[in-house]
Amino acid sequence: MKTSGNNPRKPEHPARGLPPKLLSINQTCDVLGIGRTSLYGLIARKRLNSLKLGRRTLISSDVLDAFVASLSAPAPDHNVTE
């Protein structure tokens, strides 16, 4: 078993250095640059899906990526004249 440098009893996490698959509310706020109230508003309005793991509310990194992509998608052009 491989151990981490400072604590010889604590095993090293195999995914260390990889981005997390699930983000906490605080991590998601940091990524989006918004506050907790705004994030919970997005969740309540079903703009961003969340999941519960015990008492924790988590956001999948895939869901977050899709949400950000939807923000940068071009808006439909309603001013098209024929």
- Give pLDDT tens digits for 42-72: 999 999 999 999 999 999 999 999 999 998 7
pLDDT digits (tens, 9 = 90+) for 8-32: 555 555 567 777 899 999 999 999 9
Q: Token digits for 8? A: 């010889």
Look up the CATH architecture of domain 22-64: Alpha-Beta Complex (3.90)
The three-point CA angle 58-48-62 to 5° equals: 65
Give the model's pLDDT for residue 43.
Answer: 97
Give the model's pLDDT for residue 14.
Answer: 58
Give the model's pLDDT for residue 74.
Answer: 74
C-alpha distances out from residue 73 to 16, 68, 70, Å: 32, 9, 5
Q: Token digits for 37? A: 């109230």
How do the domains of the chain map onto residue ranges?
22-64
Q: Give the predicted TM-score (pTM) of the model.
A: 0.67
Go through 54-65 and write b for each residue having 16 or more CB atoms within 10 A of its CB, e for each that does not. eeeebbbbebbe
Taking the CA atoms of residue 36, residue 41, residue 44 and residue 46 in that order, the dihedral angle to the nearest 10 degrees is: -110
Q: Residue type at 79?
A: N
